[in-house]
Chain A
């Protein structure tokens, strides 16, 4: 088991390094001259532009800048924004809790919807309940999360003259009630969108398990259906769902960009959007790196959890 953990950890580190390379390169492929954008509206002479490029280190070879940046990343220094000159790490520390809370709550809602729905749908296969839940999941796949978010903004405003408090992010511990008001609609919007695919996956996985011989044996023994489903089938059905959970959490982190813009959360998604518009390379590199590392770590945890969920799995 320890060998497996070490091996997975090493692969994760390699993944992180590869990710840094891809992130560094992709950012520089975006069309548009970062120096020009930083200069702003000024009519700039070639000499001035050259000076700005030199100040921003855009005139150095990319590989030297990559290794320089990598070296700084290893010490926790992600550089400073081209615009605000503020350290990228400070911005990330400020914005990360917002995005994490949104992602976790969305994932929780997605799971709370998907798991019971998938189980019921599988247990009541071909019933009207199954059809209704499957219709719901198809609709959830078809309707984009930003559309749901816009509805969640518009309808309470029109019907009840109410909107989530717009005073900026209020941490959970500072004011739980305001935090709840701020997060419950965007979390539901994002969670609903992701619950759709999860529901289908849980259903499919559960159906596979319910067709197994040992389930038939359990039923033949006279066990109640609830006991069969929850004690015997569910745990095995959830193993592949855990994999999906890890992937979905990563996708949710990416999905926060639009939701944060609509609901005005100062999270990593918003900063990513601004950084792309402003060609703020250090900010973009830093944030994407954080997303990527988070995604890899989540999947590492997911991989390591298999051994607990399924005792048959041994890490040789």
Chain B
């Protein structure tokens, strides 16, 4: 008789390898069958199919009109109650973002990683009316006052006189110590941005001839020539925010973040988290007389890993997400559809840029062929699940300025896939046997970007362009490839801007931050200079039409598609609307319903 109980005998029983393998195979089959059964149900929570291409039109009131609690025409009562007028104090916004800013000086370092931080801490002379529930059009570019009392006076078309608000104070942190903002601060900042050798804003602010401060509440800017987009220039992107003079003069802008804004940087643990506390002495009230900001704290979660970032939202650790692509949107909607509201905005397009000063890409037939090789509808389907648009030199969401494919005439053919025609162009350019080149990219822009890159690479291969992938890390990418120091071609995201000018001015004007391809096209530069000085809107639109036709023919950059992006915010987050582009963090008027 064996010693020990049943379980001991069972544990000690010898089993042959044959028996063990048989048991394992049966177990594996059983698990596969169970998996198949579990995954056989259809998933109905997919991103809706594309039904139209144009961005939704806004219901925005006229500029300067205070936002009211009354709903715009057609809006639901829920939307009305979510308005700024019903704001309640309290709560913490937790925002899951994917990058860590290595320094804070927005004049010397301009990357999306810094944009959120600076928008919480700084103000600008003017701002866009954006990010509020009453204005569903995320590209509402109405300019409203921020640090100033009203829109600038313009005694002539080269002069702008800004009157500063007398109640604006710097945050109460040394060395600013809560003192009042002065005109000298504004002058210092623009002088710094314009003249510092390391400034990335020099090309933008080059139009400023001089800045005067007749008194400490008045800033007078005189331009070298009339500028159609000067106001959007100083409102948009990184150019908006005013950095502190004392910190700048001490050379500490890279490491010190003190502004006039609604939130103060409390702590920043690199690659982990930053905490911003409500500025207790913030000078701004909304049009209802309510003190801003409403929320007490912004917890900026830096989560580089895409999966971990999504899970931070799924676990409700974050109550506002950063950008979600279609797959992530689907996943979040199926797991947390009842916890979040979802918004969508136009996405960033990607494009190929190349060394236009070197063969073979200095031949426009090669560039045209590359564009005709790309299957844009397939890209939209693969990356955006059908929601997106073919991209053009001026994106279609700029409804007035974008020409659209239907108005390009014969040039529209370069945006449609036609392999036969593309190969003919390659042959005519002397490359019937194909081209070998390097295709640079950086993976920091996410899995969807890399997937698009790989698809584009395969399309180019179909017309004989054998483009070997060369992945570059982000830091070296910004400092070499992004600055035009590369061989071959590069795939990159274009970005969105608040005025049509940067879509051409930044890319084709020598000295600009995006002047990467060495195009040096004097005719194009002349057209850009002309549109910048054309104050009549319709005349300016016509110049942009000419520019778009020119670029569609030259195809200096091969634009592919922009796919929609999604944002998730917890259902109790009110009065927040994701913006299409920087700074992602318009939280000044955001509040929690519970």
Contacts and interface: CB of A to CB of B under 8 A. Distances in A.
Interface of A: 32-33, 36-37, 39-43, 48, 83-84, 124, 126-129, 131, 135, 150, 153-154, 156-158, 160-163, 165-169, 261-266, 270, 274, 276-279
Contacts of B16: 126
A41 B478 contact: yes
A37 B316 CA distance: 37
A52 to B, nearest CB: 11
Contacts of A165: 317
A39 B475 CA distance: 10
Contacts of B308: 150, 153, 262-264
Contact of A37 (B14, B269, B305, B475): B475
A36 to B, nearest CB: 5
Given A153-B311, A154-B307, A154-B311, A32 B476 contact: yes
B225 interface: no
B483 A41 contact: yes
A104 to B, nearest CB: 21
Nearest to B110: A41
B272 A169 contact: yes
B458 interface: no
Contacts of B108: 40, 42
23 contacts: A32-B476, A33-B479, A36-B476, A37-B475, A41-B200, A41-B483, A43-B511, A83-B102, A127-B14, A128-B15, A154-B311, A158-B314, A158-B335, A163-B311, A166-B272, A167-B299, A168-B269, A168-B272, A261-B304, A264-B271, A270-B271, A277-B476, A279-B475
B15 A131 contact: yes
A284 to B, nearest CB: 13
Nearest to A270: B271
Nearest to A36: B479
Contacts of A126: 14-16
A159 B271 CA distance: 27
Nearest to B268: A168
A127 B15 CA distance: 5
Contacts of B198: 42
A235 B474 CA distance: 51
A43 B137 CA distance: 36
A274 B12 contact: no
Interface residues of B, number: 52
B317 A166 contact: yes
B474 to A, nearest CB: 6
B479 A40 contact: yes
Contact of A278 (B299, B303, B475): B475
A32 B480 CA distance: 9
B302 A264 contact: yes
B273 interface: yes
Contacts of B358: none
Top 6 closest A-B pairs, CB basis?
A163-B315, A157-B311, A157-B315, A157-B314, A32-B476, A168-B272
B312 interface: yes
Nearest to B273: A168
Nearest to A132: B20
Given A83-B103, A128-B15, A166-B301, A266 B311 contact: no
Contact of A163 (B12, B13, B20, B317): B317
Contacts of B11: 124, 127, 129
B302 A161 contact: no
A14 B315 CA distance: 50
B335 A277 contact: no
B473 interface: yes
A239 to B, nearest CB: 27
A152 to B, nearest CB: 10
B468 interface: no
B16 to A, nearest CB: 8
Given A128-B20, A156-B315, A262 B479 contact: no
Contact of B315 (A43, A161, A263): A161
A165 B479 CA distance: 35
Given A156-B315, A163-B315, A262 B305 contact: yes
Interface string B1-32: 00000000001111110001001100000000
A43 B15 contact: no
A262 B475 CA distance: 20
Interface in B109-147: 109-111
B114 to A, nearest CB: 12
